[in-house]
Amino acid sequence: MKAVEISTPGGPEVLKLVERPMPEPKAGEVLIKVSAAGINRPDVFQRKGAYPPPPGASDLPGLEVAGEIVGGDTGDTGLAVGDKVCALLAGGGYAEYCTAPAAQCLPVPAGLSDVEAAALPETYFTVWSNVFDRGQLTEGETLLVHGGASGIGTTAIQLATALGHKVYATAGSDERAKAVEGLGAVQGINYRSQDFVEEIKKATDGRGVDVILDMVAGEYINRDLSCLADDGRIVIIALLGGAKATIDCSQLMRRRLTVTGSTLRPRPVQFKQQIARALQARVWPLLEAGRIRPIIHATFPLSQAADAHAMMDAGEQVGKIVLTA
């Protein structure tokens, strides 16, 4: 089969189209003929040599695909050979075929194209797990999303808005701040020209937000604490602004605040299966009713994965970039 491998750590040009043996599904795994594969920021970190695949995972990049089940073991998932699915992977999506645990497959939502379906798993699993499970965003609560125009950010805004929450989001330009408002955010904040702490305080009459989804961390943590409501939760999913911060722990005690975080990729199949089932019950109906739809910024054929990564590196996309096999 054709696949795109990381020939050596480096820039987009290290992504090379190569011939690879077909992957062989193990027990509990299906073989998928890939029609589209989503690109995520972690693929870029992996390309640069900064995010190695977990033990046992394919060395090929690619954390999500859509396609057709053509073999393997569907177990008791109710899926069958011939079904169109999208799947969360621990790697191996940039290829004509990949394997995935059957438990991490979901049907392609009715009305969505394969390209749109391929853009779902990584951000939907991540957002569900961090905003709703870990962050416990509950009825009537408000959410602040940093990096609102990112793949993760656009998903968080759409999903939380569709579930009835007021969402605020930061982005790096006026244009991107406007784009996040187009997705449902009640206010897009250009973090380069506005102070998000002041903006959130103003918008919430000084109360602050209940949950913050933070992909920046570093010095953002203190600013997050300043615009978090009592009993609020910060959920860290990336360290784009650095791993370290000094915080005033007395605030955590006085105002009962929580700082937490997680990474999805190394978690066991059973954990991801629980998220898959929650998504199918709570979120797939919203997708099938057209209430939310993944934001596709651009598509590239698999053979042009390097161009797609160059676009990721430029960082001007709103939503997702997807490869087609």
Ligand X SMILES: NC(=O)c1ccc[n+]([C@@H]2O[C@H](COP(=O)([O-])OP(=O)(O)OC[C@H]3O[C@@H](n4cnc5c(N)ncnc54)[C@H](OP(=O)(O)O)[C@@H]3O)[C@@H](O)[C@H]2O)c1
* Footprint of ligand X (CB under 6 A): 40-42, 122, 126, 146-147, 149-152, 170-172, 176, 191, 215-216, 237-238, 240-241, 262-264, 312, 315
Q: What angle do CA 317, 319, 321 make, to 5 degrees?
A: 70
Q: Minimum distance between the CB of residue 171 and ligand X, rounded to whole angstroms? A: 4
Q: How far is the CB of 130 from ligand X (least distance, A)?
A: 7
Parallel, antiparallel, or unpaired: how do β-strands 320-324 and 296-301 relate?
parallel
| Contact between 186 and 203 (Cβ < 8 Å) | yes
Tell me how far, at minimum, the Cβ of 243 lies from ligand X, in Å.
12
Toward ligand X, which CB reaches closer, 206 or 315? 315
| Pick 77 or 130: Cβ nearer ligand X | 130
**183 contacts 157 by C-beta, under 8 angstroms:** yes
In three-state secondary structure terms, 187 is strand
If you write DSSP's letter for every residue of 9-50 in order, what string do you get?
A: SSSGGGEEEEE-PPP---TTEEEEEEEEEEE-HHHHHHHTTS
In terms of CB distance, is 29 or 122 closer to ligand X? 122
C-alpha dist (Å) from residue 205 to 105, 194, 201, 265, 318: 43, 17, 6, 38, 30
CB of 197 to ligand X, least distance (A): 13
Report in angstroms how near the CB of residue 22 gets to ligand X at its nearest. Answer: 27
Whole-number Å distance between alpha carbons of 67 and 82: 10
Q: Which amino acid is at 108?
A: V
Neighbours of 207 (CB within 10 A): 15
Nearer to ligand X, 91 or 151 (CB): 151
Bridge partners (DSSP) listed for residue 69: 32
If the CB atoms of residues 107 and 241 are measured against ligand X, the closer one turns out to be 241
**Nearest to ligand X of 87, 152 (CB atom):** 152
Nearer to ligand X, 67 or 147 (CB): 147
Q: How far is the CB of 298 from ligand X (least distance, A)?
A: 12
How far apart are CB 172 and ligand X at their closest, in Å? 3
Helix (H) or strand (E) run with residue 100 in it: strand 97-101
CB 60 within 8 A of CB 5: yes
Distance CA 51, CA 288 (A): 34
Comparing CA positions, the residue from 164, 57, 124 lying closest to residue 280 is: 124
